[in-house]
Structure 1
Amino acid sequence: MRPQTFLLAVALGISLAAGGWLLKACAQDKIIAVVNSDIITQKDLDDFLNFMRMQLSEEYQGDELEAQVNSIKAGLLERLIEDRLILQEAKRTKINVDESRVKSRIDALKKQYESDTAFQEALAKQGLVQADLEKRIREQLLMFSAVETFVRSKVIVTPAEITDYYQEHAEEFSVPLRRRVSYVVCDNKGIADELYGVLKKDPDLDNYAIKFGLTPSTLEVAKDGSFRKEIEEVVFNLNIQEVSKPTLIEGGYYIFELQEIIPAQKKSLAQAQEQIRQRLYEKKLSQRMESWIAELRSRSYIKVSE
């Protein structure tokens, strides 16, 4: 190749490489939303998704992690806009964050990795550095504090509201008929059949299970869909002190002995009040959060690019 041709090829290669890099950089710097004095770029959105991936990796792995990440993608920009509004309000009202809490969260994330190097490499794969992560966590803690100050602390559930709910939704606090059983699980059919043969003559599952090297447990079974159908069918066909034949369920042989039939009953107000309080609190919290976000939006300039 002639020198001139070689130089031209090199120059062209550099030009194309630089052009590709510039196109990518321009795409990342594209402004996709404006929230008051803040801008949100495509890079902000990408970084936010990567940050969420890092956080979700504390609880999920593999395909389950990807499913969780995909589930939040659709509403990510709206969530980022709302986060900016909350963060701006936190800063406006001079809410502060204890830096030791930021360090604690970083340390907790690092413990998932074999070494600090592995942690930094994982960040790099997401296009992040530790400073990015610290900034996101600091902002998240600021937002949590703002929500606590302006939303959670304002939510109150009164005893009168709990009583009214209990009276108006009495059917929700009915406890269906239940059957209390002792049971064992054995992975060997021969042993399960032998134990059943003994129990037919002398139904005392708790005693004989231990002699067979098995651990007996107890269970209260109701026909409310919370148990497998085959368990309901077996248990609800037993008489008191009757023992079931070994039933194969998910690779194990179950033997049940009916100990007690517990009649249907209704929870008292005292028994149900914490459940009601939590239900009303969550509903009020959601409503107040929506109202607060709507208020922040009403006094803000928000522009989303087409």
Structure 2
Amino acid sequence: MTGIHSAKYSLARILLILILAAGLWAGAGFQSRCTAEVLDRIAAVVNNDIILLSDLNKRLDPYVLKLKSQGNSPEKERELLFKIRDDLLDQLINDKLAEQEYTRLRYNVSDGEIDAAIERIKEVNYYTDEELRQGLLNEGTSYDEYRQQVRDQILRAKLVNYEIRSKIVITTEDIRKYYDAHPELYGGNQKFRLRHILLRIPAFSMASEKQTIRSKIDQIHLELVDGAVFSDLARRYSESMSAENGGYLGEFGTESLSDLIKDAISGLKPGEFTRILDTDQGFQIFYLEDIIEPENKTIEKVTPEIQQKLYDEVVDQRFAQWLKELRERSHIKIIK
């Protein structure tokens, strides 16, 4: 959902690394693989392992598609792609180093552990297996790639437990400082319970195709105006993963919503819906199911939440430092 940053409803947040991918190499220009075959070669050497150009191309692919759809000048598009390429190669090197270290420390993950983790993700987000697979497909990720990403996260968790967790201490003073510094989070804010209907616009759609989709959502909007039940139409028409739940998205504070959505729901009463919004995901209509009035949260009530947040921040910092030190003592050669 565009503009809503919620771990509960974002596969990207749950996995941390649902990456987009593709095919461009420095100095090779920007050519379609439909018209030119690129021979594979080594992109980087990482200790005794290598990263192939095809590995890098696979990571870059949807970025190419997305940037081409944004209307940038050829020069700007090329500049952005080379920057993304360098970042993705750097990430591939980090992944390779981490994998080598997991092997050295004899960490492993069984298929059963991966299956159990995926089942927990489905349970938390109320996904059926079919909904999860469709959501991954919409994000450009195969189920096998998803399983690999879950495996990597489990390995990271094992490393954190062994190398990092025991060295982290979150004090009462740390929690108090965070609480006092964020009154907007704990002083109480309205929350909005939302549903939506989404019609996706495929990449590279012709103007006529987009107009056809617009006409369809115009008709849905008219049905709502005529008194149709929003959740029924969401189940019937929406292309969101929330369709089976009548388009239900959850409760969100204004800080979690994009300006576009905030403006659209501003002034709505529970039971009312927005105009049609043209978003990055496609055409959307939002329904305000309820407004939850703020409730001040005492520090005692939110201590576990703050403690976990601070802990996660320290873990990320320590993991980044661990990778930095790993790189410094490793042999890495990038082949241009």
- TM-score normalised according to structure 2 size: 0.43
Q: Which has the larger radius of gyration?
A: 1
- TM-score normalised according to structure 1 size: 0.47
